[in-house]
Amino acid sequence: MQEDRRSRRHWVSGLLSLVLLAGAAQTAWAHAILKESTPKPDSTVKGPALTILLRFNVRIDASRSRVRLLGPDGSVTTLGIAKQTAPDSLETTANGLKPGAYRLRWQVLASDGHMTSGEIPFTVN
């Protein structure tokens, strides 16, 4: 009888562990991860105008997301996000780019409710 109780406790404990692991994994998978970008990280592009596209692994909320451009002179410009054409993407345009090193800083709200951010360095020639 005692053996049955132990066995049952181990089984329940193992099942609970699996459920918790599955829940944690599902939450981690929902965080927004940048899958593709234009410009690509560390690339060189032509100015003075640049269309920027960011594509993620999950649906994102464009209205609560932000894209900023850090210029070679230290300036920071918040770029307006165009209407979403796909639920996993953001598109914007940067104008008046002069030659130099830039950083595109993004922050998005993923479908799981978590904010994710990142940075894409690139050069304009």
Tens of pLDDT, residue by residue, the chain (125 residues): 666 666 666 554 554 444 444 444 444 456 899 999 999 999 999 999 999 999 999 999 999 999 999 999 999 999 999 999 999 999 999 999 999 999 999 999 998 899 999 999 999 99
Looking at the structure of the chain, the number of domains it has is 2
Which two structure tokens, joined as six digits, stand for 117? 């951010």
Whether residues 91 and 106 share a domain: the answer is: yes
Whether residues 7 and 55 share a domain: the answer is: no
Whether residues 24 and 74 share a domain: the answer is: no
Distance CA 124, CA 60 (A): 28
Whether residues 26 and 71 share a domain: the answer is: no
pTM beyond 0.85: the answer is: no
Distance CA 1, CA 51 (A): 70
Burial call 7-29: b when 16+ CB within 10 Å, e when fewer: eeeeeeeeeeeeeeeeeeeeeee
